[in-house]
A and B are shown apart, each in its own frame.
Chain A
Amino acid sequence: MSESVDTQVAGNGFEPMIVAFFCNWCTYMAADLAGTSRMKYAPNVRVIRVMCSGRVDPQFVLDAMAQGADGVLLGGCHPGDCHYQEGNYKALRRYRLLKRLLTDLGIDEERIRLEWISAAEADRLRDVVNEMTEQIRSLGPANLQVPQEQFVKPVPISLEVSV
């Protein structure tokens, strides 16, 4: 996307919509802590609490994007800390392949992000959300809606043939 389009979009007041799937045991707790600590961060994230980052089916990410999310943020426990032993590792494996699938389709890889944020790291949560919001703001809207096509008939070309 060109510079001019980005500035234009920013000028038009583009606010990124980020859907976040946060693990109940760590990242969601960090968001809770950020709230009770009265931290301020970008309001662009819509948080969905899941029991584990391993619960995040790649379908959820694709669905969020199809419904208009400009980015998707996944938050899980640090490696070794998963409440269910290895849910976050499964999330990592799926995330690495899903990211390649999205990039191959032509979607900017910054639009999907996986972060390990523990229940104590409210400041890290704030920084990640702020950083991702700014990144996506500069990328502009995801524009994943499939255009409703009206077939435009071009001007018919007539060929003069001399017999």
Chain B
Amino acid sequence: MSDKPKVAFYWCASCGGCEEAIVDLAEQLLDVAAAVEIVFWPVAVDGKRSDIEAMEDGEILATFINGAIRTTEQEEMVHLLRQKSQVLLAFGSCAHLGGIPGLANQFDRETILETVFDSTPSTVNPEKVRPQLEFTENGHSVDLPGFYETVRTLDQVTEVDYIVPGCAPTPNIIGGAVGALLSGDDLPPAGTVLAPDTALCDECGRKETKPEVVAISEWKRPHEVLIDEDLCLLAQGLVCLGPATRAGCGSLCIGANMPCSGCFGPTSRVRDYGGKALGAIASLVDSDDEAEIDKILAGIPDPVGTFYRYSLPASRLRRAPMERPLEVAAPKGE
């Protein structure tokens, strides 16, 4: 056994893009791999849960967890890895804020299972088979994880030391985080997001073209217009969430001529990303008349999906109310 610091990676409710992001470190990855021993990384390295269970508490220097928490298995693994790790990092938007899987908090469990196992046009399931927690056949039993009603962020489940933001985190942000951990000195206080604490507009290359007063009489969606490659995207009527989003990504999307969708989440002074972003965008509407305001705002067809795209579970409300299912959740009989 080597005496190099031990590092683990784990994924929960996520798409796999965060694992890609680690591979995206390219040659840098070799330096990281030379400096540490990867003890657990289900997507890339052979290793079992029992190997982790056999470890001493705090034996792992750092564990990077990506993905939101939706199932009992994810919750168990997170608690186990927390116990065995000195430092636990939330890696990527899903672990940080709930991410895209967190948008499922608009619905309850039954609606989701009903959609997936019964009602989509491509589903053939006449016996209404649903996943069971336990299944016994010939005296052998297998089990499946339980599926919670609500998607949670990592820090709603266990104590998180640092957060690496982004969907997925960019190589410069990952490199910075790993470097800070390995050097071990001047670590920021626990709970810190390892990215600059300023808004994206601050580092945006189009900052100079942002007018003094942005006034929008029509919101446009990226597929509806030819986007100017130099002008401020907000000034062009695109919903760019740069004003409400943390900097540090190197404005990659804006570089590719797409508006910011907010994956780095809020700066430290904001408690509810969606509320803040909504406030920033709505104020720009160029009208004082209620009917006209509504008409202009109709250009934003899905406020929840726009402003809470990555952060519904981390929002103040965290989810849609349980007692009153959405219209799509209404039982078929009605």
Please give the residue numbers on chain A whose beta carbons come within 8 Å of chain B beta carbons, in ascending order: 1, 57-59, 61-63, 65-66, 79, 86, 89-90, 92-94, 96-98, 100-101, 104-108, 142-144, 146-147, 149, 151, 153-154, 156-159, 161, 163
Asked if residues A101 and B304 are in contact (CB atoms below 8 Å), the reply is yes
Question: Cβ of B114 < 8 Å from any Cβ of A?
Answer: no
Chain B residue nearest in CB terms to A54? B283
Q: Besides the contacts A98-B275, A157-B135, what 8 more A-B pairs have beta carbons closer than 8 Å?
A: A92-B288, A93-B293, A97-B297, A100-B303, A101-B307, A105-B304, A159-B137, A161-B137
19 interchain pairs, CB-CB under 8 A: A59-B316, A62-B274, A63-B271, A63-B316, A92-B288, A96-B294, A96-B297, A97-B297, A97-B303, A98-B282, A101-B274, A106-B325, A142-B321, A143-B322, A143-B324, A146-B319, A147-B150, A153-B134, A161-B137
Question: Cβ of B72 < 8 Å from any Cβ of A?
Answer: yes
Asked whether A98 and B288 contact (CB < 8 A) given A105-B106, A154-B132, the answer is no
Question: Cβ of B270 < 8 Å from any Cβ of A?
Answer: yes
Complexed CA–CA distance, A63 and B134 (Å): 40
Asked if residues B323 and A94 are in contact (CB atoms below 8 Å), the reply is no
Nearest CB in chain B: distance from A15 CB, A: 18
Asked if residues A156 and B106 are in contact (CB atoms below 8 Å), the reply is no
Chain B residue nearest in CB terms to A65? B317
Question: Cβ of B16 < 8 Å from any Cβ of A?
Answer: no
What residues on A are CB-neighbors of B323 within 8 Å? Answer: 1, 143
Asked whether A1 and B272 contact (CB < 8 A) given A92-B293, A158-B136, the answer is no
What residues on A are CB-neighbors of B146 within 8 Å? Answer: 151, 153
Question: Cβ of B201 < 8 Å from any Cβ of A?
Answer: no
Counting from the closest, the 8 A-B pairs by CB-CB distance are: A156-B134, A66-B316, A58-B275, A59-B275, A101-B303, A158-B136, A97-B282, A151-B146
Asked whether A154 and B133 contact (CB < 8 A) given A96-B290, A105-B321, the answer is yes
Question: Cβ of B198 < 8 Å from any Cβ of A?
Answer: no
Asked whether A147 and B271 contact (CB < 8 A) given A90-B283, A97-B282, A97-B300, the answer is no
Asked if residues B297 and A59 are in contact (CB atoms below 8 Å), the reply is no
Complexed CA–CA distance, A59 and B272 (Å): 6
Asked if residues A98 and B316 are in contact (CB atoms below 8 Å), the reply is no
Could you say which interface size class chain B belongs to? 35 or more
Complexed CA–CA distance, A70 and B297 (Å): 26
In chain B, positions 265-312 with a C-beta closer than 8 Å to chain A are 270-272, 274-276, 278-279, 281-283, 285, 287-288, 290, 293-294, 297, 300, 302-304, 307
Question: Cβ of B320 < 8 Å from any Cβ of A?
Answer: yes
Nearest CB in chain B: distance from A149 CB, A: 5
Question: Cβ of B141 < 8 Å from any Cβ of A?
Answer: yes
Complexed CA–CA distance, A158 and B322 (Å): 31
Asked whether A59 and B270 contact (CB < 8 A) given A92-B290, A93-B293, A161-B137, the answer is yes
Q: How many A-B residue pairs have CB under 8 A?
A: 131
Chain B residue nearest in CB terms to A100? B303
How would residues 86 to 109 of chain B score, 1 for a CB under 8 Å from any chain A CB and 0 otherwise?
A: 000000000000000000001000
Nearest CB in chain B: distance from A26 CB, A: 17
Nearest CB in chain A: distance from B326 CB, A: 5
Asked if residues B294 and A61 are in contact (CB atoms below 8 Å), the reply is no
Please give the residue numbers on chain B whose beta carbons come within 8 Å of chain A beta carbons, in ascending order: 72, 106, 132-138, 141, 146, 148-150, 270-272, 274-276, 278-279, 281-283, 285, 287-288, 290, 293-294, 297, 300, 302-304, 307, 315-326
Asked if residues A156 and B136 are in contact (CB atoms below 8 Å), the reply is yes
Chain A residue nearest in CB terms to B325? A106
Chain B residue nearest in CB terms to A157? B132
Asked whether A61 and B293 contact (CB < 8 A) given A1-B323, A107-B321, A151-B72, the answer is no
Nearest CB in chain A: distance from B331 CB, A: 13
**Which among A104, A142, A156 is the interface contact of B135 at CB below 8 angstroms?**
A156
What residues on B are CB-neighbors of A79 within 8 Å? Answer: 288
Nearest CB in chain B: distance from A77 CB, A: 13
Asked if residues B307 and A93 are in contact (CB atoms below 8 Å), the reply is no
Complexed CA–CA distance, A93 and B275 (Å): 13
Nearest CB in chain A: distance from B153 CB, A: 12
What residues on A are CB-neighbors of B317 within 8 Å? Answer: 62, 65-66, 105, 144
Complexed CA–CA distance, A142 and B270 (Å): 24
Nearest CB in chain B: distance from A97 CB, A: 4
Asked if residues B278 and A94 are in contact (CB atoms below 8 Å), the reply is yes
| Residue in A96, A107, A161 with the greatest tally of chain B CB atoms within 10 Å | A96
Asked if residues A57 and B321 are in contact (CB atoms below 8 Å), the reply is no
Asked if residues B278 and A101 are in contact (CB atoms below 8 Å), the reply is yes
Nearest CB in chain B: distance from A106 CB, A: 4
Asked whether A93 and B272 contact (CB < 8 A) given A100-B297, A151-B146, the answer is no
